[in-house]
Every structure is written in structure tokens, then in C-alpha cells.
Amino acid sequence: MKKIVLFFALSISNSIFADTLLHVGNLLDTNNGEIQKAVTIRIKGNQISEITKGYASPNKNDAVVNLKQSYVLPGFMDMHVHLTFEYAPKAERELSVEPEFSALFAANAASKTLMAGFTSVRNVGDDGMETISLRKAIDRKLVKGPRIFTSGKTIATTGGHGDPTNGMSKDDYMPPTPEEGVIDNADDARKAVRQRYKDGADGIKITSTGGVLSVAKSGDNPQFTDSELLAIVSTANDYGLWTAAHAHGKEGMKRAVLAGINSIEHGTYMDQEVMNLMKAKGTYYVPTIMAGDWVAEKAKIPNFFPALVKPKAEKIGPIIQSTFAKAYKAGVKIAFGTDSGVSKHGDNWQEFILMTNAGMSNLDALKSATIETAKLLRVEDKLGQIKPGMLADIIAVQKNPIEDISTVKNISFVMKDGVIYKQSS
């Protein structure tokens, strides 16, 4: 029988105990794939204090968790999610969704994501304040969810992917402002970045090319000038914010990479020239193969997508996995990302299957969701590995994922920040 332990109760009960001891049968080192047998991980508060051989005897008031039959590894991190929505068929799509509803939807999506073993996510685009507010609520343990790093609202250009007025009658809107996420010159760009810093965002997301799901004709044309991109990246750097660029087309990718963007999302038409440039600049690639796979399948369903979207989904969707295979072989730095919100939240694990089907080793796939994602977020001193001094983000599965990656579908244990949110027995 499977038992899911309520995190509220555990948050309270954990405070009673001095330490938490995890008796681990198989501890996987995602650096090298080695497995330590029969060890104890001692958790003090929200940190890993020590790892010792054997199953240590608890001190008075210590809590002990039996993971002797499990394979234990760091909590996964997804670098591309949209917690505030899930894409719906055309017939079911609402004309407008209130931000209050989006915030409640995001809380539910966050819970599903955490229970799937993803203890940290990077939310790259919402309507402005939903995931910033959700991040605060999760940090205060008002709701359960992963650790959130969010960009707030995406920055786009007029008519570009991310312009919220695309498809609307001119009589129904006023031209959106930089605060609302639309810019058309370098000064606008700086103002938009500063507004997101003021709002409390952790980073900046831009749409440097057209997109598949926007109501606009092109899915890959460049949509920012060099001066706009430089203004965005330099201002973000001034404020200590990471930067991420949605990009399908080659020219838009090149401009973003040359401007110093930290990561390219999707990267559909990436070629060897762009790969070489990304390697030289140290730019990360977040593939989101799931999104390409999902839109390609849904494009086969009559009337699922609007007329402008359908041909883009048919054309771009199937390419992402083959691009990923080439980028991996070329040695581009890869960080795990799914674009969940296009597909269903909680299914994030499927990206591992698609990555390994495209030629990535199981170990490298696991590293992409732990060690590499921590580096991209600039938190490698706190997250991504299980060792003393790191935050206690720990998950468990029943089989060795180096041998069988599909085991990540069934996460049996989730600890985030030293609190147990899921434990199956």
C-alpha cells in the first residue's frame, strides 16, 4: 500500500526531532555515476551535515527514514516551466483567465511538480506576479511546491512572441508598455528589466524569435535588435539577474548568444555555427524536447490549434529532438527543461526518456537535471549534489536510473529543504 505523508504534519513533526537520519541503501553520485552502498545521510535543519558509511544509530529525538531498498539522488531541477497554465484545445480555451485563477492553478501545478521529484524549477513567463507570489508562499510553507526561480512576465517586442495583444482587434487594446512586457528600443529594454527587478523576479526571459503557440505568422524570425539585446543583458547583469532567450530561428539565437544571454530555450534551428558560438561563450541550451513532441502530436488533431499556430506546430515540433541530438554530440552545455504548461505538469520526467532516446547517456541526462541546472541557476554551492553543506533536496527511486532511466517515473521519496513531502511504503 502506498502512503503519501502530508507535508504540513511533517513540517511540524520535524521540528520535534534533533536531526533526520536517512538510512540509504544506494546513494548515487550524479558526478560520476558511482553508487555508495549502505550509508547514512544526516540532515540538520535544511542542510546535509554529514554522510557516513553504514546505518548510524540515532541520537535521542533523531528521526530515522528507511531508504535501504532505494536509490537516492539529488532533487531534480526543471529550467523551463510555466506553472500558471496548461495549453488546452481550441474548443476548450477561455478567452481570458483572471490572474487570481492563474495563481491558484499555479499552486496546484507546483504541488504536482514537487511530487514528481522536481524540487526546484525555473518559471520563465507568466502574467507578472503570480509565480513571484507563489515563490513567497512556498518559501513560507503556506503551500507545497518546488523552490521557484522566476522571470515574472516575459519581455517581447511589438507583435512578437509574447506580445499579449496579438490576435486582438486594435479597438480592444492600448499598445502595451515595457512594464507590461513589450519593448521597441534599448531604453524600453532597460526599463522592462528594471521593472522586473522591482517586482522581485530572479531573472529575465525574452522571446528573441517568433514562437509556435503565439497568434502570429512566423515561428522563427528574429524579433530583437542587437542594441535591444545588449541593453537587456547588460542591465540584467547589473542587477544580478540571469537571462534566458526563447529562440527557434538561427539569427535570433546568434544575436542573443553574442549579446551574452545565459541560456537558449528550444533552439530548434540551431546549426553548427550557433553550437560553436554557444560553446565559445559558455551558453547553456535548454532543449524542451517534450514541448516539440507534444505540439507535433496535437497538430494532427483537427481544430486543436488556431489556424496560425497549426502549421508552425507541424513544422517546428518534430525538429527539436534531432537538434538536441546534434547539440549533445557537439558538446554544447545542456540543462534540463520541459516547457511544462504546454504539456501537463507532473509529467516532467518524460523529458529524460526523450533525451536518452536521442542518444544522451542516462548519467548525462541525470546530470543535466541536477549538476548542470544548479550551475545555470548559479546555486551550485547549494543545490545539485548530495554532500555536506548542501541544501537537503533529496529524492529516491526503486531502481538504478543509470541502468533504467524509466524508473524516474515513480518517485518514492521527496525531501526539499530538509522537509519530507512524500514517502511511499
CA distance 35 to 85: 38
Q: Cell match 544509530: residue? A: 57
Closest by CA position to 265, among listed 180, 206, 203, 331: 206
CA distance 106 to 83: 5
Q: How far is CA 6 from the centre of its chain?
A: 25
SS3 assignment, position 4: coil
Answer for the pair 242, 262: CB distance below 8 angstroms, yes or no: yes
CA distance 135 to 103: 11
Q: One-letter amino acid identity for 38?
A: A
Helix (H) or strand (E) holding 156: strand 156-157
pLDDT string in tens for the chain (425-residue length): 444 444 444 444 445 668 999 999 999 999 999 999 999 999 999 999 999 999 999 999 999 999 999 999 999 999 999 999 998 765 566 656 788 899 999 999 999 999 999 999 999 999 999 999 999 999 999 999 999 999 999 999 998 888 777 777 787 778 889 999 999 999 999 999 999 999 999 999 999 998 777 666 666 899 999 999 999 999 999 999 999 999 999 999 999 999 999 999 999 999 999 999 999 999 999 999 999 998 888 888 888 888 888 887 888 778 999 999 999 999 999 999 999 999 999 999 999 999 999 999 999 999 999 999 999 999 999 999 999 999 999 999 999 999 999 999 999 999 999 999 999 86
Q: Classify domain 7-75+385-423 at the CATH topology level.
A: Urease, subunit C; domain 1 (2.30.40)
CA distance 201 to 193: 9
Q: How far is CA 1 from the centre of its chain?
A: 31
Residue 194 C-alpha cell reads as 528594471
Domain ranges, ordered by start, for the chain: 7-75+385-423, 76-377
CA distance 171 to 168: 8
Q: One-letter amino acid identity for 326?
A: K
SS3 assignment, position 229: helix
pLDDT in the model for residue 3: 45
Phi, psi of 157 (to 5 degrees): -115, 165
Concatenating the DSSP letter of every residue in 270-318 gives --HHHHHHHHHHT-EEE--HHHHHHHHHHTTSTTSS-TTTHHHHHHHGG
- The CATH superfamily holding the domain 76-377 is Metal-dependent hydrolases (3.20.20.140)
What's the start-to-end Cα distance of the chain, in Å?
7
SS3 assignment, position 20: strand
Residue 27 C-alpha cell reads as 546513494
pTM of the model: 0.93
Residue 397 C-alpha cell reads as 527511486
Q: Cell match 530548434: residue? A: 268
Listed in sequence order, the residues at least 6 apart from 112 whose beta carbon sits closer than 8 Å to its beta carbon are 345, 346
Concatenating the DSSP letter of every residue in 36-81 gives EEEEEEEEETTEEEEEEES-PPPPTT-EEEEEEEEEEEEPEEEEEE
